[in-house]
Amino acid sequence: MVEKNSAHTFGGNVSPGARSVLNRVIKEDKKVPVFIAQTMAESMRDLGYNNTTSAICELADNAIQADATEIRVYFNERGRGKKKELDVLVYDNGTGMAPNFLQLSAAFGGGTRYNDRNNIGRYGVGMKSSCLGMGPAFYVYSWQEPEAVYCQTFDLDEIRNSKLNVVYLDPPTLQSDLDDEVLRVLSSYMRYPTDKENQERLIDGEYEIWDDLGDSGTVVYIPDCDRLSYKLSKTLVDHATKDMARIYRKFMSQGIDIYINNRPLIRSDPLFLDGKAKHIRDLDRLEDEEGYEVNETVARDFLSKEVLIHNTLSGQTHPVNVRLVLLPPEWHDLPRKRLKGMGVFDHGVSVLRGDREVYLGHIKGLTQRRDSRGPWHRMEIQFPADLDEEFGVTVNKQGIRISEEVVKKIIASGFKEALNQVREEIKKRQAERNVKKNTAKISEAERRATDAEVFQTTILPEPDLSSPEGREKYKEHLEVLASEYRQEDESLDEAKERIEKIRFLTKMIHNEDMPFYRMDYNVQTGKVLLKINTAHPFYSQVYEPLIKLNRSGIVPDNLEESDNDETVFDATQIISGLQMMLFALARTQVSMQINDQELEKVFVKLRQQWSINLDTLLSTPVG
State mean pLDDT over 610-622.
Answer: 85
Residues 6+ apart with CB under 8 A from 142: 96, 97, 102, 149, 150, 152, 217, 218, 219
- Total Cβ atoms within 10 A of residue 123: 14
Question: Residue 47: its pLDDT value, please?
Answer: 63
Comparing CA positions, the residue from 128, 96, 111, 143 lying closest to residue 222 is: 128
Residues 6+ apart with CB under 8 A from 174: 99, 148, 149, 150
20 vs 55 pLDDT, higher one: 55
Cα torsion for 275, 281, 283, 284, to the nearest 10°? 110
Q: Which helix (H) or strand (E) holds 288?
A: helix 278-290
Q: How far apart are CA 398 and CA 229, in angstroms?
A: 15
Question: Residue 559: its pLDDT value, please?
Answer: 41
88 vs 578 pLDDT, higher one: 88
Model confidence over 142-191: pLDDT tens digits?
999 999 999 999 988 888 777 676 778 889 999 999 999 999 999 999 99
Question: Residue 34: its pLDDT value, please?
Answer: 63
Question: Residue 556: its pLDDT value, please?
Answer: 46
What pTM was estimated for this model as a whole?
A: 0.69
Model confidence over 347-398: pLDDT tens digits?
889 999 999 999 999 999 998 877 778 899 999 999 999 999 899 887 666 6
Question: Residue 563: its pLDDT value, please?
Answer: 40
Question: Residue 95: its pLDDT value, please?
Answer: 96
Amino acid at 314: S
Residues 6+ apart with CB under 8 A from 58: 121, 126, 127, 129, 130, 396, 397
* Strand positions, DSSP E, 225-362: 257-260, 263-264, 300-310, 317-326, 349-353, 356-361
- Check whether 595 has a pLDDT greater than 50: yes
138 vs 595 pLDDT, higher one: 138
Residues in the chain: 623
Q: Which helix (H) or strand (E) holds 518?
A: strand 517-522
The fold for domain 41-264 equals Heat Shock Protein 90 (3.30.565)
**Residue 289 pLDDT level (bands cut at 50, 70, 90):** confident
Element counts in the chain: helices (H) and strands (E)? 22, 16
Residues 6+ apart with CB under 8 A from 256: 64, 68, 69, 70, 71, 248
Residues 6+ apart with CB under 8 A from 262: 72, 74, 189, 190, 198, 199, 200, 201, 202
Q: Which helix (H) or strand (E) holds 281?
A: helix 278-290
Of 21-35, 113-127, 345-359, 553-567, the poorest mean pLDDT is in 553-567
Positive or negative CA dihedral for 525, 197, 224, 150? negative
Model confidence over 532-548: pLDDT tens digits?
888 888 888 887 787 76
Distances (CA, A) of 271 to 302, 421, 453, 470: 11, 18, 22, 31
264 vs 206 pLDDT, higher one: 264
Kindly provide the b/e burial profile for residues 164-196, where b requires at least 16 CB atoms within 10 angstroms of the residue's own CB. Answer: ebebeeeebeeeebbeeebbebbeeebebbeee
Domain boundaries, the chain: 41-264, 278-406, 451-557+566-619
Q: Is 488 helix (H, G, I), strand (E, B) or coil?
A: coil
- Total Cβ atoms within 10 A of residue 370: 8
581 vs 434 pLDDT, higher one: 581
> What are the start-end ranges of the H helices in 68-208?
99-105, 126-132, 156-161, 180-187
Model confidence over 49-104: pLDDT tens digits?
789 999 999 999 999 999 999 999 999 999 888 888 999 999 999 999 999 999 98
Give yes or no for a contact between 41 and 125, defined as CB atoms under 8 angstroms apart. Answer: no
The DSSP bridge partners found for residue 528 are: 504, 521
State mean pLDDT over 515-526.
Answer: 88
Question: Residue 562: its pLDDT value, please?
Answer: 39
